[in-house]
Amino acid sequence: MSEFIFYLIKVAAGIGGFYLIFWLLFRNDTFFRFQRIFLLMTVITSFVIPLISVDFSGIQDAKYFFVLDPVVVSGNIDSQIIGETSILFSVITRLFLFISLLALVRFAFKISGIIRLIYIYGIIREDDLKFVPIQDNIAPFSFMGLIFVNKSIYTEGEFQKIVAHEKEHIRKKHSIDRLLIELVIIVQWFNPFAWFLRTSLQNVHEYQADNGAIQKGLHASEYMQLLLSQMFNVKPGVLISNFSNSNVKRRFTMITKNKTNRINLLKTVFILPVLGLLFMAFSVNVSEIQETKTVSNDPVPDRLVKNYKSEEVEKMPEFKGGRNAMIEFLSSNIKYPEEARINEVQGTVFVQFVVNKSGKISNVSVKKSVAADLDAEAVRVVSLMPDWTPGVADGKNVNVVMNIPISFKLK
């Protein structure tokens, strides 16, 4: 679960970065199709980038090699050290899951509300359109190919304008966007930029529908007058595309605004730095290619040190806070796999990793295996370690290969 939480934090950073570009550069343009694509790609890209891993480093690239003292993980739950940080993270995880569950219930409630309207009023077909003839005094809206409208409270002219608007929502499949962004909100409820993005996407949908309806022959001034008359109607949920559910003043501005010059699309070049920063921050591991040497104070399997030679360095990498802090971190986070505990599997896993010249952890791998679940747990927690103080040789920070024996013992 901890990896998933960190993943969602990276997603939140991506959404924030891309949305700021949208808000600063594109929100006032009339490129509505481009705006919609940009906002949707913001969501997709932000979820995908943290999943990509591009490694330009390698264990053979590190300059020095060192073996740490072993860390013992007890199979007795009562004897495991549970640090304050671990407890706090557990509370945060439970809070996240609870609020996400509430958001999921809210989402289901909105869907059930729409289904209820269909069940009560049924579906009628007129020409190539499908209507749900609601009797409630709510603003007309569309969802997944259906137009929900109380025809009896509108004149024929008003009804035709409303239908023209909702047809544009249906034609452009805006409901799919709404469903996607609602699912995003379930796991990104803590991210204000996700909420801003949802609002912006809803507005873009309305701009597109307004523009499409007017291009089909509706008179702009009469259309805006109808919008104004509808703005005080009761709002349905944000899942649907509704005729008056938006910032009316902003929609008036976009209806009457001159088309943005296409040369303004050159502003898209500013997307590249944000994309590059996110990619480098979340997906790329880089270290210099240098000759490999070894420093070892403890006996280790021969195959771990083969093809390396010993040489002292001025300063070895250090976990910030020292060895005891590292042991506390590992002990607080490593959990004895339940299946291994039941099957009484134990042993020492040698985990190898690189502390590069900037102190970051990379190239985590198992060099001496015990069992798949023990190996995976050891790699998982070593990968979570925060930045170290890098090693120093010849007065410069250097890349160092580290080996840490993690001993899983049952009591």
Could you give the dihedral angle defined by the CA atoms of residues 219, 221, 225 and 231, in that order, rounded to the nearest 10 degrees? Answer: 90
3-state helix, strand, coil in the chain (%, to 5): 55, 15, 30
Instruction: Output the pLDDT for position 218.
Output: 78
pLDDT digits (tens, 9 = 90+) for 13-63: 999 989 998 998 888 888 889 999 999 999 999 998 888 765 554 444 444
Would you say how long the chain is, in residues?
Answer: 411
Instruction: Output the pLDDT for position 227.
Output: 72
Measured at the CA of 190, the angle between CA 186 and CA 194, to 5 degrees, comes to 70
Alpha helices in 51-173 (DSSP H): 84-121, 156-171
Which residues of the chain are modeled with pLDDT < 50? 57-64, 77-83, 234-236, 286-310
Instruction: Output the pLDDT for position 173.
Output: 92
Instruction: Output the pLDDT for position 282.
Output: 65
pTM for this one? Answer: 0.61
Q: How far is CA 334 from CA 123, 199, 365, 375, in A?
A: 56, 41, 16, 11
Q: How far is CA 270 from CA 14, 27, 47, 60, in A?
A: 15, 14, 20, 37
Instruction: Output the pLDDT for position 135.
Output: 84
Alpha helices in 234-270 (DSSP H): 248-256
Q: How far is CA 311 from CA 301, 319, 359, 390, in A?
A: 19, 21, 20, 17
**DSSP E strand boundaries for 286-360:** 295-296, 347-355
